Structures are given as structure tokens and as C-alpha cells.
Structure 1
Amino acid sequence: MKKLLLSAAITSFASLPLSADMLGIYVGTGNWKPEASGNISNASNDEMVFGSSGVDIRDKNQTGFYLAFEHPIPIIPNAMITEQDLKSSGSGPFTGNFGGETFVGNVDTEFDMSHRDYTLYYEILDNWVNLDLGLTARQFDGYVFVSDGVNSTNEKFDETLPMLYGKARFDLPLTGLSVSAILNHISQGGNSVTDTSLFVGYETSIGLGIEGGIRTFSLEVDDEDDFTADLEFDGMFINATYHF
């Protein structure tokens, strides 16, 4: 799967124009409170459903952080690293086989879909309309843990997925206000990952700022180890930012 996704990402990225911005460092940290829905399964094909109709996952605040470095050197891309916690737990009915264990009745579940993004990008536009395009490598090192008090299993999700990256920002002149959209996406065959953020921001004259909006992260994966996932995480977020 990873080879197919990487090939698609590189092909799409190859035609990007190259440009650069002035030297700058951008940092941000904040909280995202998503609601989880969807299902997961493994080689047995018994689906575990998340949401009100199955295992009810608790909504929790998830901490995130990003650091971006931009420079005026031609050809060399700008760089950004992003860390996002995505952990929660819940309980609900599940009957079937998961991870080699058989469960009947209510189960307790923990999952970790936390990820780290490594993004290289170019500034295509840099005025009151800003446009960045590039590539992201999203690294997962997560798991799904299931227990009914007698049997338990821990199914790992360990993948690095290449994704196309784009960000558009529209600045409202003389106000410090902006409206932005971010997209990370890849799709190949039956696998796709889409991560979108829509938000408004405000930056003071000294570089301090705040931004808030809605983020939706959907994941459809069928990997080589027969672990499949069709999940969506959707909710509001708020970040404190600094630009220097």
C-alpha cells in the first residue's frame, strides 16, 4: 500500500512550481476535541463499530503542536513538523474475533492514532492570498486494545503514509485577521487519508496570535497485515501561535 501511495504523491508533486518566502519561524500549540466514529477489523473480518451504535468512544481534548521554518533560498523547500495526540477509550457491545481473541458482550477499548507529520512545501503565492503546496509523510505508531475482563488483545497500527499537502490563507488587510484552510490527502485503490482544517486566525503586531476552527480527519486503510480501518475524527480546535 505504501509504495502505491508514495508513487501517487511523487507524481502529483513533480509538477509544482518553486518559490520561497522570507526567513520566518512559526510555532503553534493547542487542543482539538474530536468525536470518533467508524469501524476497524482485522483478518477475521469481524467489525468493531465506534459511535452511538457500538463502542462509545469518549470525547477527549487532544494536544497538538507544530513548528515551521521558512527561508528565501531557491529550490530548497520550507519545512514543518507537526505532532498530534489522538488517544481515547470507551466501552460497548462487541461480539466476534479480534486480534486472535473471541469476545462476547461488552468490551473496554483503548486506541492510539497519534501521529507525527514531516512536511516539505513551497510558497506559491505570498501576499494577501497565500498558497503553500508540498508533501507530508505522516507517521503512525498506534494500537487498538480490546478487553472483556477475561480475554484481551492489542492490535498495532504502524504505518508511514505519504500525503499531498496544501494550505491557503486569505489575509484581511490592516486587521491581523485571516481565514485559512489546510488539506493533507492521499488516495490510491481502496486506501485514502484526508485531513482538513478550516479556521480563522488573528495575529498581533508582535507575532502572537490565536486560531480556531474545525478539523476533520478520515482514514480508510487496508494494510499488508490485514488490519483495516474506516474511521473519522471530527471536532473543534483552538491554537495559540507565534510568528518570528
Structure 2
Amino acid sequence: MFKKLLPLALCSFVLPAQADTLLGLYVGAQGWRAEAEGGFANTESVTDFSFKDKTLASYYVALEHPIPLIPNIRISRQNMETQGDTILASSFTFAGETFAAGTQIGADLDMDSTDYTLYYEIFDNDIVSFDLGITARDVDGVLLTTGNSLSAQQSFSGIVPLLYGRVEVGLPLTGLGVQAQGNFLALDDNKLYDYQAAITYSLMDNLAVDMTLQLGYRVYMLELDDMDDIYTDMEFKGVFAGVELHF
């Protein structure tokens, strides 16, 4: 499912305060009802579309260990897709095709991204945990526009470096907790924010497996500046539900 692993190096001046005494494997999945807005173009002047809400899925696996200095690893996979349309106020040229003003055109985005994250546990106890690291986000997408018997399609791909952070606070004796997680980049004209906050509930907690339910809100902002001649200014946001297993 994952195309390749990337050799990443994480430099840190802070060591984890406490780590699992044994190897810990985390596997999770989320379903996300995402509302999309914004647009794209081959130039900085993007054309906005009215996009449909979509239910999207994401998956992740993480491996944590007690060895100092060596980071933990997390790999996640996300598919972003939506369709929309607009009536052009002015002519729009995309992928070599020009759509005249007044034309109603459709837009289709299909983008996969795989995150390779190396991180340290700065704090890790029964009440508070805090992770910090870096992510390489491998983006691979296709944009399609259609209208007035014309069709234009263009692919784009690239690797985007991001900062990664995660905080979790547990409420003793309740099984409840709160969690916040995000990836961030603001470099030149490229901006990418992907963050979420959730309430968690420990449904199962024993020596064999822990199961945690999640209910939260996620925001994904994608502002690309000339990735394979693609410019985007798009935002996805909405409620998600998820489950995580810890072996």
C-alpha cells in the first residue's frame, strides 16, 4: 500500500522523558466527513469551485520502542477526493485547454498522501503524553476539469516536509481523554496545515490489547505554490470518528 520508505533524520536536543518499556504497536483508522472549499489553477490566480462534501478515510500504524536517541516511526495514509463545479466569470486555462467565460465547468480532485513521521516522546505517562517530530508527506494527485466538450487533466506529485506534534491528556478513573495532533508547514508561499482535536474513550484496556475510540474535528489546508505547475488554495474540514488499537 505504501510506495516506499524515506530515509529521514530527526535532530533533537531533547530526549524522551519516559518511553514504553516494551515495543508498542499502534494501528488506527478514521472516517472523516469533509467539507471542501477553494480552488486551483496553473497560475497564482486560482479559480474557486463549489465542492461537494465527502466521507474520507485515513489509516495509520506507529511503532514505539524504549531505545533512547532512536526515534519512533509512524506511517499514515490519506485519500482526499471531491468534485465540484463553477460558472466562469472569466476565461480559465488549465492543462493547455482554455474554457471561455460564462462556461459551466466541473472539477475533480483525487489526491493520495502518505506520511512518514519520525518522532520522540517528550513526555509519556498516564496523565500527559507529548510527541514531537518531523514528517515527509508524499503527495500524488490528479486534477480534472470538464466543460463545453473540453476536458483537461493534470497530475502533480512531490514530497512536503512538515513539523509534527501530538498532545494527549487523560482524565483519571474515567477512561476519557482529550487529544490534539497536527502537521504544519509555512515555507515561502507554500502552506500546509493538517490538524485535529478529539475526545477519546478507552473502551478496552488489558495486557493483550487496548482499544480507544475517537470523536473530533479535523482541518486540512492545502496551499501549494507551483507543485508541477499546480497552484491550490483549498481547505477541508469536518467531524471525524476513529478507533485505535494498541498492542
TM-score range, shorter chain: 0.7 to 0.9
Matched residue, 1:32: 32
Q: Secondary structure at the match of 1:239?
A: strand
CA distance in 2, matches of 1:144, 1:193: 18
Question: Aligned pairs, how many?
Answer: 228
- TM-fit CA distance, 1:223: 2.3
State the superposition RMSD in angstroms. Answer: 1.8
In structure 2, do the counterparts of structure 1 residues 199 and 215 end up closer, same or farther at CA, with 3 Å as the change threshold?
A: same
Matched residue, 1:86: 80
Matched residue, 1:62: 56
- Which residues of 2 match residues 60-209 of structure 1 at below 5 A? 60-94=54-88, 95-104=91-100, 105-127=103-125, 128-203=127-202, 204-206=204-206, 207-209=210-212
In structure 2, do the counterparts of structure 1 residues 224 and 85 end up closer, same or farther at CA, with 3 Å as the change threshold?
A: closer
Contact 1:183–1:197 (CA<8 Å) still a contact in 2?
yes
- TM-fit CA distance, 1:226: 2.9
Contact 1:46–1:98 (CA<8 Å) still a contact in 2?
no
- TM-fit CA distance, 1:148: 0.8
CA distance in 2, matches of 1:25, 1:15: 23
CA distance in 2, matches of 1:178, 1:46: 43
- TM-fit CA distance, 1:46: 5.2
Contact 2:156–2:227 (CA<8 Å) still a contact in 1?
no
Contact 2:157–2:227 (CA<8 Å) still a contact in 1?
no
Q: Which one has a larger percent helix, Structure 1 or Structure 2?
A: 1
Q: Secondary structure at the match of 1:18?
A: coil
Task: Give structure 1 stretches of 5+ with no counterpart.
Answer: 1-8, 50-54
When structure 1 is superposed on structure 2, of 200-209 and 134-143 the one drifting more is: 200-209
Matched residue, 1:52: none
Contact 1:16–1:133 (CA<8 Å) still a contact in 2?
no
Task: Give structure 2 stretches of 5+ with no counterpart.
Answer: 1-7
In structure 2, do the counterparts of structure 1 residues 224 and 177 end up closer, same or farther at CA, with 3 Å as the change threshold?
A: closer
- Which residues of 2 match residues 8-23 of structure 1 at below 5 A? 14-19=11-16, 21-22=19-20, 23=23
Amino acid at match of 2:26: Y
When structure 1 is superposed on structure 2, of 89-98 and 139-148 the one drifting more is: 89-98
When structure 1 is superposed on structure 2, of 84-93 and 217-226 the one drifting more is: 217-226
Is 1:214 aligned to residue 217 of structure 2?
Answer: yes
Segments of 4+ moved more than 2 angstroms: 13-16, 223-226
Deviations, residues 105-130 of structure 1 (Å, cap 9, x unaligned)? 11121101321111110000011111
Q: Secondary structure at the match of 1:223?
A: strand
| TM-score (norm: length of structure 2) | 0.87
